[in-house]
Amino acid sequence: MEQGQVVDLDRAMALAAARVSLEHDLPLADCIMLATARHYRATLWTQDADFESIEGVRYFPKLQNRP
Residue 2 located in a structural domain = no
Asked, for residue 52, whether it belongs to a domain, the answer is: yes
- pLDDT tens digit string along 38-61? 999 999 999 999 999 999 899 998
Question: How many domains does one find in the chain?
Answer: 1
State pTM to two decimals.
0.81
Asked whether residue 50 is assigned to any structural domain, the reply reads yes
What would the pLDDT profile of 7-48 be if each residue is shown by its tens digit? Answer: 999 999 999 999 999 999 999 999 999 999 999 999 999 999
Residue 4 counted as domain residue: no
Q: Does a structural domain hold residue 34?
A: yes
* Structural domain range at position 30: 11-59
Structural domain contains residue 36: yes
Whole-number Å distance between alpha carbons of 14 and 58: 22
Q: Measure the CA–CA gap between 40 and 21, rounded to whole angstroms.
A: 18
